[in-house]
Amino acid sequence: MRSSSFRSSLGLLAAILSCLPGPAAFSADAPRPNILLIVSDDQGFADVGFQGCKDIPTPHLDRLAKSGLRCTSGYVSHPFCSPTRAGLMTGRYQQRFGHETNPFYDPESHIEGLPMSQKLLPEHLKAAGYVTGWIGKWHLGAAPEFRPINRGFTETFGFIGGGHIYRDWKPDVKKEYNVPIERNGKPVEVTNHITGVFGHEAAQFVARHKTEPWFLYLAFNAPHSPNQPTPERLAQFAGITNKLRRTYAAQVSLLDDAIGEALVALRESGQENRTLVFFFSDNGGQIFNGAVNAPLRGNKGDVYEGGIHVPFVVSWPGKIPGGKDYDKAVCSLDVFATALAIAGVPMPTDKKYDSVNLLPYLTGENPGAPNNRLFWRSGKKSAVHDGPEKLVRLNGQSDELYDLAADLSETKDLATSQAGTAKKLGEILDGWDKELIPPAFPGLGRGKKEK
């Protein structure tokens, strides 16, 4: 009797438990997390409200920063456009596969572009069932095989070169800054300011895919030159007396609005709490275009902080703490491993990867530092961070040493007074350099200078 009663009780308990929504049921029914990667172009370190900017309101980016973590030690892996993008798409230092400069725009060149030996992040995610989208600037090769539609993106909209006229241009496939805007590889007519067009396209992508997991790479060319804001937006900044700064500020404001449209679509479609959002600039601001990198030293193209240390935000409401600063070093390379981790895709093991899954660090699960060391090389300029210590090597000159914890502006060279530390970091940099290969293509060395 007792055995029969016990079996009956177990059966009743099993029936009750079977009606409860366990973890497996939730994960089976809910779409996997989305990834929204927003990259601005040549935006200054100080040119956003959450970094203390006073003359350019950026309410949408400020709201994003409040919803997540402002990474005060946020870096990119290269001081200018295309190599940074190659690194974040592959999770590898781009010099490992020779993508060390901006490719020359040439639709007939099968060399000038991100080498086909590399498998890109969208290819991994697409194979795992994600809808993958690219909107905006490409700058990773113009020949057919290099284009985003052939590198893992399900939906594409934007221009293939390294920059573009913002409004009132005549399409010309031979002129990099006048090439047609393309949707899924085919030219489309665009009459509005392209910064706003990119934001609108992103909002539509977000709304269109609210029932399935997606990855969207929203890569603006703003505020890269030539800044051409609308007359109405330019008029709003009439109080800025410096004409260059005024035009730049108006373009940053248009950028913020475009990003805002995408973020509003995220909230209104109910996807904000299941979307990991990254935002950063692809390199430091171009001072000669009106940007401000203060208090950092240097400019776009430099391996000083002004070329590589950028505004950087990571947000995922409910998963990552909101409204706080994270001061340990994070890098654009880390997008790759972090995105694969939340998608449930194992990190590849076919090559050496330099990307770190940031989530355990940003959530506080791991109190350590995600990146103890970071490296840079751009031609004859290179640098290494080892904690707060940074070695800079320029054009065969004597190495420079800085303590970023005490001297973020890199004003006091400690190489002589701390010769032992400089020697140690120099050897570390030499060791990393031996892992790299020479540039795989001549790029801008073919005679064209970036605009």
CA atoms within 13 A on the CB side of 360: 11
Strand partners, 279: 38, 313
Run of H or E residues at 277: strand 275-281
Please tell me the distance from the alpha carbon of residue 336 to that of residue 215, in angstroms, as a whole number.
11
- The single residue of 53, 60, 78, 81 carrying the catalytic annotation is 81
DSSP label at residue 159: E
Q: 364: how many CB neighbours lie within 10 A of its CB?
A: 10
78 labelled catalytic:
no
Name the token pair of 103: 């490719």
Among 22, 117, 131, 42, CA closest to 85:
42
DSSP label at residue 216: E
Q: List the strands of the sheet with 312-315, edge to edge.
A: 186-188, 181-183, 155-159, 131-137, 214-219, 34-40, 275-281, 312-315, 69-71, 324-326
Burial pattern 10-40, b for ≥16 Cβ within 10 A else e, equals: eeeeeeeeeeeeeeeeeeeeeebbbbbbbbb
Query: CA angle, 40 as apex, 197 and 358 as ends, to 5°?
Result: 125
81 labelled catalytic:
yes
H helices of 159-242, in order, are: 194-208, 231-235
Contact between 343 and 44 (Cβ < 8 Å):
no
Please tell me the distance from the alpha carbon of residue 149 to that of residue 240, in angstroms, as a whole number.
41
Q: 231: how many CB neighbours lie within 10 A of its CB?
A: 7
- The single residue of 78, 139, 164, 209 carrying the catalytic annotation is 139
DSSP label at residue 149: G
Q: 439: how many CB neighbours lie within 10 A of its CB?
A: 16
Run of H or E residues at 32: none
Q: Which residues are catalytic?
A: 81, 139
